[in-house]
Amino acid sequence: MNLEDRIEIFGKILVNHRIKVILGSLLIIFTISFGMKFLETPSGYRGFVEEDFKYYKDVLDLEEKYGNIDVLTFVVKPEKGNIFQKDVLSLIHELTEISWQTPYSSRVSSITNHQYTTVDGDDISISDFVDDVDSLSTNEISNLYNAAVLEDAVVNFVMSESGKIGLVNINLEMPEDIAFQEPISFAWEQKNYFEERYEDIFVGVAGSAQFSHNFQSTSESDASKMYPSFLLLIIILTYILLRSVVASIISLIVIILSILPSLGAAGWLGFEVQPPLITAPIIILTISLTHAIHMLSIGLTNMTEGMTKNDAIIESLKINFIPIFLTSFTTAAGIAGINFGDIPAYSEMANTVVIGAGIGFILSVTMLPAMFSLLPINARKRKSYVLEVLKNLGELIYKFKERFVIVITAICIAVFSLLPNLHFDDYFSTYFDRVPEWLEVKNTVDPEFGSSFYIFSDMQSNEPDGITSPEYLKKLDEFESWLLTQPEVADVSTISDVIKTLHKNMNGGLNEYYAIPDNKALIAQYLLLYEFSVPYGMDLKNQMTADKSDSRILIRTNNSTSMESVAFNARVDEWVNENISPFSTNGVAGIPIMMPQLFVENTRGLVIGLLISFTFIIMVVGISLQSFRYGIISIVPNIIPFILGFGLLTLATDMVTAAHQFAVLISIGLVVDATIHFLSKYKKALAINLPPREAIQYCFRFVGYPIIVASICLFSGFLFLTQSMFYYNFIIGGMCALIIMIALLIDLLLLPALLLIFGKKV
């Protein structure tokens, strides 16, 4: 008994037990879907890296010593002038006070609560830089700028050098596994309240806490905004393609039912709802839709040709079973390659899609035929202009096959020459550039401060109380000076700044004493004095260890690309190796180091994943066609869309981000589908002894329309992803849509020509 007969028997069983099949499927589907309640809220940027990722561990090590690195920042910018105006300072003062109420806050710093030291002989007076704003005259207020700009701890940390922007920084001590929801909600309440009260002053929410929260908020807004309209799009698309209300309902039921258990499985597996996972249902839905359309359109066509409903769907099952299986398989194989990358959120997305592709396949060949058999369907005859166009196209290609090949080859070579303009790189800071509020804050902060992000370094003296030694502090100073020469660094703050300021203040406030004293005992005594006079939440615990053996360097970064950051990190390591002895440090750590390193490792993994996936897919195609020659021919139309797609990308950018790489792995398995359909039909046509010209027409007649329909579905689905607020989803959507469209053109224009020239009966 051959495979087709087996499928026919399988089809008959389905049709005869249709009620049991439907109820059984529903039971299984809802059981698995129950897992959706276990889907986890995203843990922000921390959920974007593996827990044992070296550069994340560096961050954790730092946090264990000096406390959490996460900061929530209010950005205050008056429309006109600098922050030294009565209303602006009042706002900052009030905002600073209320910021202590932020859930999980441990420290609050701003220009108003900056500890300002005034010296009168041996009397040292320490007070808030700005306390009672109302008591200050306009003149006194504007003079404050001159004093503020001289303070190390102020410039670039709580105030921009120009004085145009003030920051209120809130350090957060988040317990493990707690999201930033509470502090962020609190911050946004304050932002709205203060912006309403002070019309001409901008108040924004920034900092790593907001960055991290964006992962959650974009997931939520994407899901709530994209899913309903995507469903509407799919309903319209399905109806246009099938022209049958009942058939559309069947396909909708099947595709939606393939999403629920995929997300359920994701829940059972403990996946997080990071922004990438939001794309999974849309991708699954699109893939399942192409299966449903294949099954239903052939079923409907069979009915218009006079078959009974049951025979029509069994026949459709016979024709489609193997191609749907193969295409599901290649799709899954391509996307599974993402697991070679280093970003868990994408692996989780990929695995959800793989599960979804599997469920979609099963439902398309079980529940869908059963429902087709059960529900009343009337097939209407329709004229197809598409078939007419395809027929003419087939003729055209037959006549000019060489020219088609030459022209397309020429285009490919021309575009190929653009590829060297591209390089692997990205800006992690652009992740949320599509979120208007974030972009506004970023565009406010970045020109004045470099960026919203900090990195840190832990410098160890290797002995208790070692940080008070002049040698240690001078080395720290040397490191700071070197760091300041680096383009990636905006500003640096170290404990040696504190000592220099103290030395100056202990010597009548004279600027010539702004230096590190040569006496270790003196430094230790200064520090003791300092430690006795700090207000709540301003102690040095986040800057030095209790035994005073190690101290932390705080570095505000400029926006850099991943490759620049990685190179910077390497230069730091080199400098440290050569210069830091007899002290030691592990170099720098923080979000602007971790995310770029993640990009590099991820790229390395994805390249391997792509090679493996691609080889695997080509092997599957070759085996399914049972021909080496056809396997080789299939490579051409599957590679060209990527060459052309990335060639066209050069018109927009020169960076191939991780998102572009993911797009390749997601689309590779989909692009190959059309080729499988086309090649298998061509082979079959030759096998029944059709001459090449007729064989091409045969292909166009039988698979031309389904290929176009499937590509349109996929194109629409991916194009829809460009609505996402998460930049990577936007890129993946756009890139996949582009590649799929090019692939369609190549399959219709180049592949037939290639087959006419190189295809042989085997």
Partner 1 sequence: MKKMKFAKIIFIIFALFPFYLSAETAEEQGLRIAKASYENGRGFTDMVSDQLMILIDPKGNEVTREVSGKTLENLDPNDGDKSLTYFKTPKDVEGTVMLSHTHISDDDDQWLYLPALGRVKRISSSNKSGAFMGSEVAFEDFSGTDYRKYEWKFLGEEMENNETFYKLESYPNYENSGYSKRISLIDNLNRTYKVDFYDRKGELLKTLYLEDYVLYKDKIWMANTLKVENIQNKNITIFKWLNRELDVGINKKDFEKSSILRLAD
Which CB, 221 or 525, lies closer to partner 1? 525
Q: What is the CA radius of gyration of the chain?
A: 32
Which two three-digit tokens encode residue 548? 């005073």
Q: How far is the CB of 471 from partner 1 (least distance, A)?
A: 14
**CA-closest candidate to residue 540, choices 600, 507, 494, 572:** 494
Which CB, 534 or 611, lies closer to partner 1? 534
Which two three-digit tokens encode residue 208? 């790593």
Pairing label, strands 166-172, 105-109:
antiparallel
Contacting residue, 16, 31, 127, 577, with partner 1 by CB under 8 A: 127
Contact indicator for 465, 597 with CB cutoff of 8 Å? no
Which CB, 310 or 545, lies closer to partner 1? 545
3-state secondary structure 694-761: HHHHHHHHHHHHHHHHHHHHHHHHHHHHCCCCCHHHHHHHHHHHHHHHHHHHHHHHHHHHHHHHHCCC
Contact indicator for 166, 448 with CB cutoff of 8 Å? no
The answer to the question of residue 181 lying near partner 1 (CB under 8 A) is no
CA distance 461 to 550: 6
Q: Which region, judged by CB under 8 A, interacts with partner 1, from 120-128, 386-394, 450-458, 613-621?
A: 120-128
CA distance 477 to 475: 5
Q: How far is the CB of 531 from partner 1 (least distance, A)?
A: 5
State the DSSP code for 561: -
Which CB, 503 or 660, lies closer to partner 1? 503
Q: Which region, judged by CB under 8 A, interacts with partner 1, from 100-108, 323-331, 616-624, 701-709?
A: 100-108
Q: How far is the CB of 131 from partner 1 (least distance, A)?
A: 8
Contacting residue, 10, 41, 50, 124, with partner 1 by CB under 8 A: 124
Q: Restricting to residues 507-536, name those near partner 1 by CB under 8 A.
A: 519-526, 528-529, 531-536
State the DSSP code for 688: T
Which CB, 101 or 229, lies closer to partner 1? 101
Size of interface with partner 1, in residues (CB under 8 A): 46
Q: How far is the CB of 56 from partner 1 (least distance, A)?
A: 19
Contacting residue, 51, 61, 140, 173, with partner 1 by CB under 8 A: 173
The answer to the question of residue 626 lying near partner 1 (CB under 8 A) is no
List 128's β-bridge partners, or say none. 115
Contacting residue, 19, 126, 387, 484, with partner 1 by CB under 8 A: 126
Which two three-digit tokens encode residue 753? 């020509």
Contacting residue, 253, 544, 714, 746, with partner 1 by CB under 8 A: 544
Total number of residues shown for the chain:
762
Q: Which region, judged by CB under 8 A, interacts with partner 1, from 95-103, 303-311, 365-373, 580-588?
A: 95-103
Residue 616 burial class via C-beta count within 10 angstroms: exposed 0-12, middle 13-18, buried 19 and up: middle
Q: Restricting to residues 239-268, name those near partner 1 by CB under 8 A.
A: none
Which residues, 6+ apart, have CB-to-CB distance to 410 below 8 Å?
Answer: none
Contacting residue, 165, 167, 540, 748, with partner 1 by CB under 8 A: 540
**CA-closest candidate to residue 624, choices 669, 679, 670, 696:** 679
Residue 307 burial class via C-beta count within 10 angstroms: exposed 0-12, middle 13-18, buried 19 and up: middle
Q: Is 111 helix (H, G, I), strand (E, B) or coil?
A: coil
Q: How far is the CB of 42 from partner 1 (least distance, A)?
A: 24
Q: Restricting to residues 414-433, name those near partner 1 by CB under 8 A.
A: none
**CA-closest candidate to residue 584, choices 455, 462, 466:** 462
Which CB, 123 or 578, lies closer to partner 1? 123
Which CB, 24 or 537, lies closer to partner 1? 537
Contacting residue, 411, 538, 566, 607, with partner 1 by CB under 8 A: 538
Which CB, 163 or 183, lies closer to partner 1? 183
Which two three-digit tokens encode residue 126? 């320490």
Q: Which region, judged by CB under 8 A, interacts with partner 1, from 84-92, 126-134, 479-487, 663-671?
A: 126-134
Pairing label, strands 584-589, 489-493:
unpaired
Q: Restricting to residues 199-218, name those near partner 1 by CB under 8 A.
A: none
Q: In the β-sheet with 454-460, what is the strand arrangement from edge to edge?
A: 489-493, 550-557, 454-460, 584-589
Q: How far is the CB of 348 from partner 1 (least distance, A)?
A: 31
Query: Alpha carbon of 509 to those of 117, 270, 691: distances in Å?
Result: 9, 59, 98
Q: How far is the CB of 480 from partner 1 (least distance, A)?
A: 23
**CA-closest candidate to residue 664, choices 592, 731, 725, 757:** 731
Contact indicator for 80, 97 with CB cutoff of 8 Å? no
Question: What phi, psi does 487 have (nearest 5°)?
Answer: -65, -20
Q: How far is the CB of 499 from partner 1 (least distance, A)?
A: 13
Contacting residue, 91, 300, 319, 506, with partner 1 by CB under 8 A: 506
CA distance 727 to 744: 26
Q: How far is the CB of 163 from partner 1 (least distance, A)?
A: 25
Query: Alpha carbon of 10 to those of 29, 150, 329: distances in Å?
Result: 21, 83, 20
Contact indicator for 302, 381 with CB cutoff of 8 Å? no
Which CB, 100 or 398, lies closer to partner 1? 100
CA distance 280 to 353: 6
CA distance 653 to 430: 14
Residue type at position 492:
V
Q: Is 165 helix (H, G, I), strand (E, B) or coil?
A: coil
Query: Alpha carbon of 528 to those of 28, 499, 522, 543: distances in Å?
Result: 68, 11, 10, 14
Which CB, 520 or 571, lies closer to partner 1? 520
Q: How far is the CB of 543 from partner 1 (least distance, A)?
A: 10
Q: How far is the CB of 31 from partner 1 (least distance, A)?
A: 42
Q: How far is the CB of 428 from partner 1 (least distance, A)?
A: 29
CA distance 598 to 50: 9
The answer to the question of residue 177 lying near partner 1 (CB under 8 A) is no
CA distance 45 to 389: 50
- Reduced to 3 DSSP states, what percent helix, strand and coil does the chain have, rounded to the nearest 5? 70, 10, 25
Q: Which region, judged by CB under 8 A, interacts with partner 1, from 119-127, 253-261, 566-574, 577-585?
A: 119-127
Q: Restricting to residues 38-67, name those near partner 1 by CB under 8 A.
A: 64, 67
Which CB, 31 or 125, lies closer to partner 1? 125
Q: Restricting to residues 308-367, name those near partner 1 by CB under 8 A.
A: none
Which CB, 24 or 103, lies closer to partner 1? 103
Helices 344-365 and 275-304: crossing angle in degrees, nearest 10, is: 20
Which CB, 465 or 694, lies closer to partner 1? 465
| Site track for partner 1 across 631-670, x = CB under 8 A | ----------------------------------------
The answer to the question of residue 101 lying near partner 1 (CB under 8 A) is yes
| Site track for partner 1 across 445-484, x = CB under 8 A | -------------------xx--x----------------
Q: How far is the CB of 551 from partner 1 (least distance, A)?
A: 12
Q: How far is the CB of 66 from partner 1 (least distance, A)?
A: 10
CA distance 402 to 389: 21
Contacting residue, 24, 40, 50, 106, with partner 1 by CB under 8 A: 106
Which two three-digit tokens encode residue 160? 């921009």
The answer to the question of residue 539 lying near partner 1 (CB under 8 A) is yes
Which CB, 370 or 473, lies closer to partner 1? 473
Contacting residue, 34, 100, 188, 398, with partner 1 by CB under 8 A: 100
Residue numbers at the binding site for partner 1 (CB under 8 A): 64, 67, 100-103, 105-106, 122-128, 173, 464-465, 468, 506, 519-526, 528-529, 531-541, 544-548
